[in-house]
Structure 1
Amino acid sequence: MCSKNSFLRSVGVEIYASGHRRWPDDVKRRVVAETLEPGATVNAVAERFDLQPNQVSAWRRLAKQGKLVLPAPEVEEPVFAPLVVCEVEPEEPPREMVHNDEGIRIVVGEVRIELVSDTPARRIAEIVRALGYRPC
C-alpha cells in the first residue's frame, strides 16, 4: 500500500493520516483521459489509481456534462475534421393574397399592393408575376 500511496502523491493526490484522499481536478482529468485511450478500460485505470470503478465513471459523467474539462489529446500529426458545405435556401418572404369586398391585397415580403376589387384578373396576374410570387 505504501508504494501505491507514493505513486498517488507523485501524481498530486493529497493523502491524509485518516486515509482520506483529495483528488485535484487535474488528476481527475488525467484519470478520465486515460480511460479514453484505445484499449483502456475503466476497471484497469481504476485499479492503477487505487480507485473504485464507479468513482472513475462518476468523473467520466462530469466530463461528459462539461463540468470536468479534459486535456487535449496529444497527437503526432494534425487531425482534421471534414467540412460539409451546404447551400442554405433563402427564407421565403411572407406572402399573402386576399380578395374581399373591400378590394384585393397582395403582400410579398416588404411589398404591399392594394387594388380595387374590380381590377381585371389579367392585370392582377401581371403584378403577381412581376413580384416573383410563386403559389405554394
Structure 2
Amino acid sequence: MDVINDDAKAAGFRRIEVLTGPGRRRRWSDAEKARIVAETLRGGATVTEVARRWALCPQQIWGWRRQAREGHLALIQDEHVPAFVPIVPAAPLAETDERRAVSVGQAAQRTRSAPCLEIRLAGAVLRVPVETDGTLLTEVLRAIRASAA
C-alpha cells in the first residue's frame, strides 16, 4: 500500500518524467535512408549500433535494408571503395548456337561502331554502350530486377 507523506506535499516536491528522443514522427529522405543503410553494411558495424546512433528502432533499418535489396532504395556508394563487377568468360556455344551467334554478331557489328557491355540479369540480356549514363543504367537494371521478382 502506498503512503503519501503530507510533509512532501507541503515542501513542494513533485515527481516529473523526462521524455527523451524525437517528439514527433520524423520523415527520412531517400538519401538519409541510403546513408544509414550504407553505415550498416560497412565491416564491423551492426544494425543495433547504427540505430542507436541515429535514434531509430532497429526494425526500421531492417525495413530500409529490405527496400534496398529489392531495388526500391538506391544505396550511396562510398567514393573510396571501388565497385567492380566480375567479367566471366562465356561458356562454349553449341554448333547451332555458334552459327546463330556469329550471324547476330556480324549484324550487330555492322550497325554499331562503339564497344558495348553485355549484361545478363534475371533472364534478360542488356547490351549497353560504354558511354551510357550511370544513373540511367542503374534505373534500367533496377527495373529488370524488379520485373523478375
TM-score by length of 1: 0.49
Which structure has the larger Rg? Answer: 1
TM-score by length of 2: 0.45
Of structures 1 and 2, the one with the larger relative CO (CA 8 A, separation 6+) is 2
Structure whose residues are more often helix by fraction: 2
Structure whose residues are more often strand by fraction: 1
